[in-house]
Structure 1
Amino acid sequence: MEIRKINKLVLASSNPKKIREFMDIFSKKNIHIIPQSKFGIDTVNEKHITFVENAIEKARHVTRLTNLPTIAEDSGLCVDALDNYPGIFSARYSSLEKQNRDISNNNLLIKNLTNIDNRKAYYISIIVFLRNPNDPTPIISEGKLYGEIVNEPSGTNGFGYDPHFYMPEFGKTVASMSMDEKNLISHRSIAINKLIDNIMNK
């Protein structure tokens, strides 16, 4: 298979907001994203201790069930003063149920940063591309977005920690950006564009 000719990919994700971001960015490259839900596939448990291992596990799970080229991402927020936590636990940082988890995660983050002056942090996205279930050479890309954590949330766009992730050079949080603005600079868009370049050059 000549992967540079691929015009559609299965995305191993059930997160509707993440799916939308992938669709928006890939559509500009004329690549159609098909969420795993179209195949009735549930998300596999993230049991590894690194972003790349989790991404590979998710991609392999979906491509094994569809036998189609698949991409998967694992991403998170790493805060300097918290020894890079929440890291791989970003989506499940708190123990609250899923429907309120973003708020609970953010509340715990701000609580753990009480009386801490160093608020530097970065988002990281690791994306893995597998041609098939037995692909011995997955394509892996990485993107990072640097900023700082602020106590007061701002903005209603985005998801996760975006309302508290402040970008000094833009003078606003990621959640205060439009989708187009975010997709130009985000850790996810950086990783996606690197991945597309790698695919097209294979």
Structure 2
Amino acid sequence: MAPRKLAGETLVLATHNPGKVREIGELLAPYGMSVVSAGELGLPEPEETGTTFVANAELKALAAATASGKPALADDSGFCVAALDGDPGIYSARWAGPSKDFSVAMELVHRKMAESGSDDDRAWFTCALTLAWPDGHCESVEGFVHGTAVWPPRGDKGFGYDPMFVPDGDTKTFGEGDADWKHSVSHRADAFAQLVARCFDGGPAGD
């Protein structure tokens, strides 16, 4: 079956995370789409009960599409560390606790890496993106960026675990680089490029 295309509808971003709203909004900007977040619409956050990034992205996108009656785009992403067998992974936000304090989460990753006894500092970010429609149809993709976990964290840009991640081929963390650079190399950019190729008609507005 051919992928379903998104054609000019208002798109709901199924997230209450301001950092994700900003990043996804910037990625969508060239396509001239009207975008509103689930937070702005007052939609509830569904419990993330999936066991994979894609399953959680689909769960969130379907909940927002059903509640809003509009197509919805959801992201489920996380920080994965080789020495921790891929953790925190889908539980990345939970490691930050109820206050979503990622300085606490990064400290926990650092401590658990030290306790693991491994000197493997490989790490990667994973991003699953799902477009869902009110009739239940979903289109999902998954993107990655590989690199290393560093300590102490560096930089105050980005969000989440960005300050402790250096992508392969670079020396600065996601917390030190500007948005344009991050958009060119990130897991979210990788997934978004796949989604555009799969589900967007035409190119950016003005092309």
Q: How many angstroms apart in 2 are the aligned matches of 1:149 and 1:40?
A: 36
Unpaired runs of 5+ in structure 1? none
Q: How many angstroms apart in 1 are the aligned matches of 2:141 and 2:52?
A: 14
Unpaired runs of 5+ in structure 2? 203-207
Pair 1:102 & 2:128 matched: no
Q: For residues 1-202 of structure 1, what are the structure 2 equivalents within 5 Å?
A: 3-94=5-96, 96-99=97-100, 101-114=101-114, 115-135=117-137, 138-200=138-200
* Aligned-pair identity (%): 30
Answer with 82-91 or 40-49: which moved more.
40-49
Q: Which amino acid aligns with 1:12?
A: A
Q: TM-score, normalised by structure 1?
A: 0.91
Q: Which amino acid aligns with 1:98?
A: S
Query: 1:116: how far off?
Result: 2.8
Deviations along 1:31-68, one digit per CA (max 9) or x if unpaired, are 23210122210211111211111111111111111110
Q: Decide whether aligned partners of structure 1 residues 54 and 4 sit closer, same or farther in structure 2, where only a CA change above 3 A counts.
A: closer
Q: TM-score, normalised by structure 2?
A: 0.89
Query: 1:5: how far off?
Result: 2.2
Deviations along 1:85-117, one digit per CA (max 9) or x if unpaired, are 1010001125x4315x20110000000111531
Q: How many residues align?
A: 197
Answer with 2-11 or 192-201: which moved more.
2-11
Query: 1:4: how far off?
Result: 4.2
1:14–1:42 contact (8 Å) kept in structure 2 = no
